[in-house]
Structure 1
Amino acid sequence: MATKLFYGPHEDQWGDLYLPDPGGAAPRGTVVVVHGGYWRDKYSAELGTAAAEDLVGHGFAVWNLEYRRAGSDGAPGAGGWPTTFEDVAAGIDHLATVAGPSGLDLHRVALLGHSAGGHLAVWAAGRHLLPPDAPGAGPAVLPAGVVSQAGVLDLAAAERLELGEHAARNLMGGASAERAEPFALADPARALPIGTPVHAVHSRTDDTVPFAMSADYVAAARAAGDPAELHEVGGDHFAVIEPDKEAYRTCRRLLERLLP
């Protein structure tokens, strides 16, 4: 059973904390689940529930994170730049507050993000390199690695391809030509190298986020010296978050590699 904890005053600043059986062994590590949905507020942390329940059953503590998202269907949202990024950073760092009472080891934390959540998870793994005044700078929790599930790992490409009906512009509050600095700070593809392992899991038949997003990111990351790996799986865009699919089980095995 999960415990809902708030990391800020807004109604969307919360996460569900799942802990393994308290009578058993200590958690093998903590997985922060960052859900997708093209950063729009019509999608919520419910997208991460199935993975969270599966992972806690395999001995992980899980922090299924909600955050303020950009608007949907023409209506304004509470998130977007920089709020969404500040929330993801604050939500991950909140583990430092709950670690002691919950028995969590802050040196054994991995991030798992799907689609737009993959973008946010990989961005968060590079927070230690952000300028001091940038949103999300100065992390209190440094992840051991990231598993990106069909992640939107190149924000400039997402804008160019008009993915999710201009989802990148919706997130950032405008086009990159007008908001060059925020786009640069928000784009994982512009942050290399980050020095953190990134496992990009993606299907060539994904018709929501192109396979090239992961393939190109991993190629650039490896060229920059990062320990990034590409893992090709089958299925559609959502197979990587469905515990009964082999694509998802690949993600779980990679988390077990990151948190052995």
Structure 2
Amino acid sequence: MPTPAYDAQIKYGTEASQFGELRLPAGKGKFPVVVVVHGGCWLSAYNLQYMSHVSEALRKAGYATWNIEFRRVGETGGGWPGTFQDVAAGTDYLRELAKKYPLDLDRVAVIGHSAGGHLALWLAARTNLKQSSPLYSADPLPINGVVTLAGITDLKTYSEAEGSCNSAVEKLIGGSATQFPERYAEASPIELLPLQTPVRLVQGAKDPIVPVSQAESFATKAGNSAEVILLDQAGHFELVAPQSEGWPKIKKALDKLLN
């Protein structure tokens, strides 16, 4: 399946991976905006391209989409703290885009898959960071809601399990939770609760990469701000396939956050 075209590829920084793809619906706007954050275990081997079909489906549904790239583990500046700083800067750059494009910054949501689901949650949680943190932003763009698709919510717990993506957590953070407890506290969404932003955690019951417990434990601790949407027949990648049976539930969750 060919990659859907975007309206503009725009740099939000000077590094090669600091850019995003903007897609705009038909019409004059202003359009609600969905920031799209790709997964791939935070590794440079994976990029934003596979989220282009999600971005296009949301564009057709009336949302402007901003599919962001960022420095990842394996490239200069990726990992701690650059990956987080880039995702934050890319999201906040919507303020600049809104000067040129018809974007409604009063209606902004973030959707992320897998490791990108972790980063999507972190974007909502970063308002709880202390000013002394290297991940701190003085004026984060307000977010109306987050939809995670098989999102990793607890870096410490996830890193302790077996799996190739699990082992990437220490590469992202620079070491283990024992070595860098303060980094895990600033990077792991479950440690940055409570959130002021509503969260919908979409999870495939048959996911072999991110267990359902990641969503359930976060929702239990977050309380009323979070809801788990369990797709009984889905694995890991069906969640980013707009033709899948579960996609209408994902879109419905997003619609409720922005409309």
TM above 0.5: yes
Aligned to 2:126: 127
Q: Is the 8 A contact 1:33 1:111 kept in 2?
A: yes
Equivalent runs, 1:28-39 vs 2, <5 Å = 28-39=31-42
Residues 61, 251 of structure 1: CA spacing in aligned structure 2 closer, same or farther, 3 A cutoff? same
Residues 246, 138 of structure 1: CA spacing in aligned structure 2 closer, same or farther, 3 A cutoff? farther
Unpaired runs of 5+ residues, structure 2, are 1-5
Amino acid at match of 2:208: D
The CA distance in 1 between the partners of 2:249 and 2:147, in whole Å, is: 10
Which string of whole-angstrom CA distances, capped at 9 and with x for unpartnered residues, describes residues 59-117 of structure 1? 1000001000012xxxx654001000000000000001111211111110000000000
Q: Is the 8 A contact 2:11 2:20 kept in 1?
A: yes
The CA distance in 2 between the partners of 1:47 and 1:249, in whole Å, is: 19
Deviates more, 1:196-205 or 1:153-162: 153-162
Q: Is the 8 A contact 1:90 1:136 kept in 2?
A: no
Q: Is the 8 A contact 1:34 1:120 kept in 2?
A: yes
Deviates more, 1:24-33 or 1:179-188: 24-33
1:118 and 2:117 matched: yes
The CA distance in 1 between the partners of 2:38 and 2:30, in whole Å, is: 22
Deviates more, 1:178-187 or 1:132-141: 132-141
Q: Is the 8 A contact 2:159 2:166 kept in 1?
A: no
Q: Is the 8 A contact 1:153 1:187 kept in 2?
A: yes
Aligned to 1:230: 228
Q: Is the 8 A contact 2:28 2:102 kept in 1?
A: no
Q: Is the 8 A contact 2:204 2:234 kept in 1?
A: yes
Equivalent runs, 1:152-167 vs 2, <5 Å = 152-163=152-163, 164-167=165-168
The CA distance in 2 between the partners of 1:32 and 1:113, in whole Å, is: 8
The CA distance in 2 between the partners of 1:136 and 1:113, in whole Å, is: 20
Amino acid at match of 2:70: Y
Which string of whole-angstrom CA distances, capped at 9 and with x for unpartnered residues, describes residues 222-258 of structure 1? 1xxx411010013110011000012232211111111
Q: Is the 8 A contact 2:38 2:51 kept in 1?
A: yes
Deviates more, 1:86-95 or 1:134-143: 134-143
Aligned to 2:3: none
- Aligned counterpart for 1:43 among listed residues 41, 46, 55: 46
CA shift, 1:136, in A, is: 3.8
- Residues paired across the two proteins, number: 251
Please report the TM-score for the alignment, with normalisation by the length of structure 2: 0.93
1:53 and 2:56 matched: yes
The CA distance in 2 between the partners of 1:45 and 1:243, in whole Å, is: 16
The CA distance in 2 between the partners of 1:174 and 1:137, in whole Å, is: 24
Amino acid at match of 1:156: K
The CA distance in 2 between the partners of 1:138 and 1:194, in whole Å, is: 17
CA shift, 1:194, in A, is: 1.1
CA shift, 1:210, in A, is: 0.5
CA shift, 1:152, in A, is: 0.5
Please report the TM-score for the alignment, with normalisation by the length of structure 1: 0.93
**Overall identity of the aligned pairs, in %:** 38
CA RMSD, Structure 1 to Structure 2 (Å): 1.3
The CA distance in 2 between the partners of 1:162 and 1:77, in whole Å, is: 27
CA shift, 1:122, in A, is: 0.3
Unpaired runs of 5+ residues, structure 1, are none
CA shift, 1:2, in A, is: 2.5
Amino acid at match of 1:79: G
Q: Secondary structure at the match of 2:228?
A: strand
Residues 248, 178 of structure 1: CA spacing in aligned structure 2 closer, same or farther, 3 A cutoff? same
